[in-house]
Amino acid sequence: METQDGECNRCGQCCHYVINGKRTDLPCQFLEYLTDGKTRCKVYKFRIGLLIGYGNICTFRKNIPMDFKGCLQNKERVMSQWTYINTSNMIQLWDEG
């Protein structure tokens, strides 16, 4: 599927909350799981910049600093630490470990 953010296989892996600098297993409240195993965003057309919960703001996939299994937009990152910008615009470290 072609999106504003590039190719997407609609796995939903990038649509999980980040809390205290850690990606959680808690999916976004707007992520819908379909019977074919794919996902879709219930608010796709106006999601970018939307406060989605737990202090998270929805962003483009290219701004999410990690790779996901099978994602078409992986950058083959090999670092164990990442930075991301939280809702207070402070840069924090993302620790994969």
Q: Mean pLDDT in runs of 10 for the chain (97 residues)? A: 69 90 88 95 92 91 83 67 41 39
pLDDT at residue 4, rounded to an integer: 55
pLDDT at residue 12, rounded to an integer: 93
3-class SS at 45? Answer: helix
pLDDT at residue 96, rounded to an integer: 40
pLDDT at residue 77, rounded to an integer: 57
Other CB atoms within 10 A of residue 30 CB: 16
Question: HSE of 81 in the Cβ direction (CA atoms, 13 Å)?
Answer: 3
pLDDT at residue 85, rounded to an integer: 39
51 vs 87: CA distance, rounded Å: 9
